[in-house]
Amino acid sequence: MFLKRLIITTEKGTIIREVSFKKGLNIILGIPAKGNKGSTNNLGKTTLLRCIDFCLGARNLEEIYTDSENNKNPDNKVESFLRKVNPIFTLEISSSLDSSDVITIERRVNLNRRSKKYFNFIDGTELSKDEFENIELKKIFFASSEHYPTFRQLIGKFVRGNDKSLSNILNYGSHFNTDSDYEKIYFFLMLPKSSKVLDTKKATENEMSKFRKNFKKIDEKIKELQQSFYVIENELSELKNLRDEFKIDAKYDKEEESLKNVQLSIQQNEGEIASLKLKKEINLKRKSELEDKFISLKSQSLKYLYDEAKYFNKKLPRTFDELVQFHNQMINNEIDYLNKSFEKYDSLIIEKEQAKVSYVNQYNELLSFLGKSGSLAEYTKLNDKISQKSIIFGELKSEIDRLSSGIKTLEELKSTFDSMNETLHSLEPELDENLKIFNKYFSQYVNQIADYKAKPSVLSYGFKTKNEQYEFKISNIESNPGSGSKQALIMAFDLAYISFCNELKLTRPRFITQDKVEIIDEKILQSLFSIADQIDGQLIVPIIWDKVGNEHSAIGEDCILTLDSSNKFFCIEKFTDL
């Protein structure tokens, strides 16, 4: 996908700024005031890149009016202006700059609201934040409906603006991105057919992580509980043997036997109640999982899959609405069944609780009757001990059962995780072939900017058995290149990826943005600009006038926007009547 045009208007429709993009190099030029005097700072050169990023789902608008190099202090003038005009950001994109298949991405802003401040639209249809980013934008730019890696994790490679993305070739994203995230990102970028496997692997990793938080040191804990359980079990067995051998008075043998039977009934009753409550808890969890699986008729993800299926089979026997209704009806049927089971369990629990009350009353009556025996005090103490130990016994058994169930769940998750790794291993030959294509371009571009005569710079990978994941790396580059050299390599890497996508005809962004290119050596920068003009893609960079020579007209058609002190990005001075 190419960028065609960015339009920023007030909420009333007045145009604030309009920029058209071209194929190849796109320069945002900052020039000094007349006479080549004055500063080129604070003109808004970088603002265009931030506006593109905002249109592509950046979390908030603050980046646009905040100076990252000035202690992240906001530009109060710009912030006040945006609050007054409630801007609308519109980004037009298409599969090629010559085609008419324009898609309009729009984000409307109201910074004066306390709650929702941003409103997302694609081709005029308002979308929720998740639908906007993780469904529609990902489908448009990456032809994928899988959740992982997320759209924002991917797009950061194409829109580089923050310090981390400008100093790291591969680990360009948020500080919250993990090695596991980058495994998914580069497998996805280099081998699109791996997307479903990556999605399942990441979802499994998340479940395993969540599970381990709830079951910390589970193996150690269950062993400790089992030992405690064995001790309590032995103590309880000894106490019951003592009670079985206990003699109160020969004339009260019948009552004594009844007392033992009632005690046994109480213990059995408590076990049945615990079992019913556990079954109910399991069904409640299942009901909650089912409720999360309901599908809305507005579900863009399912609609996309249905439309794709219909494309290949125009005589599908069911409409999309019928498909959704059938799916939801199946879930409703199971939920109805579970609701009936709750009624059954509640009824049985009440019945068992009532029976328990009856048993306890019988037990108390027998104890009262046997109170005439002088040995009752000792017998009562013995029964109290048995009762206390029985409670502890039940609690330990319940916790052991819970942890054992958890271990089984973890084993199932680990089995899925291992299966996904096996699938990825089987895809390595195809990944290797794709990396050959990418490295052909990457090595070529690096040689053009650095004139390297030694080993070529290449992207490679390896499987780390310690954490059971893949790691991508770039080899044969300087161990500690300077900032300018690093940024040049980043630009060469991103341009190579565009060429790679062109050769494989992948649905990907065909544009890259990069800030702070002034630190790159002028000769190297010109070589990169030349590469950008030769490939079927777009390179969008802000730059100051003296980096391209005092006569900025030399860059000709490559300049898409010129800014100076009298023409800053938001043209605030033109809106003095606000």
Which of the 8 DSSP states describes residue 307? H
pLDDT digits (tens, 9 = 90+) for 111-156: 888 888 899 999 999 999 889 988 999 999 999 988 889 999 999 9
Please report which confidence band the pLDDT of residue 247 belongs to, taking 50, 70 and 90 as the band edges: low
pLDDT digits (tens, 9 = 90+) for 444-497: 999 888 755 456 789 999 999 888 999 999 886 665 566 788 889 999 999 999
| Cross-strand partners of 5 | 20, 92
How far, in Å, CA of 574 to CA of 9, rounded? Answer: 13
The larger pLDDT score, comparing residue 503 to residue 42, is at 503
pTM of the complete model: 0.70
The larger pLDDT score, comparing residue 329 to residue 119, is at 119
Contact assessment for residue 2 and residue 510, using Cβ atoms and an 8 Å cutoff: yes
Check residue 125 and give its pLDDT: 94
Please report which confidence band the pLDDT of residue 552 belongs to, taking 50, 70 and 90 as the band edges: very low
Please report which confidence band the pLDDT of residue 381 belongs to, taking 50, 70 and 90 as the band edges: confident
Task: For the chain, report the end-to-end CA distance as a whole number of angstroms.
Answer: 37
Cα dist from 217 to 223, 411, 436, 482, 573, whole Å: 10, 15, 44, 45, 63
Contact assessment for residue 266 and residue 259, using Cβ atoms and an 8 Å cutoff: no
Mean pLDDT of 90-107: 92
Check residue 330 and give its pLDDT: 80
Give me the sign of the Cα torsion angle 281, 284, 285, 286: positive
Helices (H), 371-470: 376-426, 428-450
How far, in Å, CA of 18 to CA of 6, rounded? Answer: 6
Number of Cβ within a 10 Å radius of residue 135: 22
How far, in Å, CA of 206 to CA of 214, rounded? Answer: 13
Contact assessment for residue 90 and residue 8, using Cβ atoms and an 8 Å cutoff: yes
pLDDT surpasses 70 at 360: yes
Q: How many angstroms separate the most distant Cα atoms in the chain?
A: 122
Number of Cβ within a 10 Å radius of residue 444: 15
Cα dist from 183 to 21, 156, 170, 202, 212, whole Å: 33, 15, 10, 10, 21
Check residue 499 and give its pLDDT: 96
pLDDT surpasses 70 at 87: yes
From the list 568, 570, 561, the residue with the least C-alpha distance to 22 is 561
The larger pLDDT score, comparing residue 73 to residue 272, is at 272
Please tell me the least confidently modeled range out of 31-40, 204-213, 224-233, 295-304: 295-304
The larger pLDDT score, comparing residue 177 to residue 527, is at 527
pLDDT surpasses 50 at 551: no
Mean pLDDT of 42-51: 88
Check residue 301 and give its pLDDT: 54
Cα dist from 511 to 157, 249, 404, whole Å: 10, 96, 52
Contact assessment for residue 498 and residue 460, using Cβ atoms and an 8 Å cutoff: no
Q: Is 399 left (phi over 0), alpha (psi -120 to 50) or beta?
A: alpha
Cα dist from 209 to 351, 409, 413, 548, whole Å: 40, 12, 10, 51
Check residue 412 and give its pLDDT: 86
Ordered by where they begin, the domains of the chain are 2-169+506-575 (3.40.50), 213-297+326-425 (no CATH)
The larger pLDDT score, comparing residue 569 to residue 259, is at 569
Helices (H), 60-103: 76-85
Preceding peptide of 149 cis, ω within 30°? yes
Check residue 253 and give its pLDDT: 61
Number of Cβ within a 10 Å radius of residue 423: 15
How far, in Å, CA of 442 to CA of 499, rounded? Answer: 9
Check residue 159 and give its pLDDT: 93
Q: What is the DSSP string of 196-225?
A: HHHHHHHHHHHHHHHHHHHSTTHHHHHHHH
From the list 282, 295, 285, the residue with the least C-alpha distance to 331 is 295
From the list 345, 333, 331, the residue with the least C-alpha distance to 289 is 331
How far, in Å, CA of 100 to CA of 496, rounded? Answer: 27
Mean pLDDT of 554-566: 83
pLDDT surpasses 70 at 577: no
pLDDT surpasses 70 at 529: yes
pLDDT surpasses 50 at 573: yes
pLDDT digits (tens, 9 = 90+) for 388-431: 878 887 777 777 777 777 778 888 888 898 999 999 999 999 99
- Over pLDDT 90: what percentage of the chain? 32
pLDDT surpasses 60 at 550: no
How far, in Å, CA of 490 to CA of 145, rounded? Answer: 28
Number of Cβ within a 10 Å radius of residue 331: 18
pLDDT digits (tens, 9 = 90+) for 61-85: 888 887 655 546 777 888 889 999 9
pLDDT digits (tens, 9 = 90+) for 158-198: 999 778 888 888 888 777 788 899 999 999 999 998 989 99
376-426 vs 195-214: helix axis angle to the nearest 10? 160
From the list 576, 388, 470, 517, the residue with the least C-alpha distance to 197 is 470
| Token couple for 129 | 């934040």
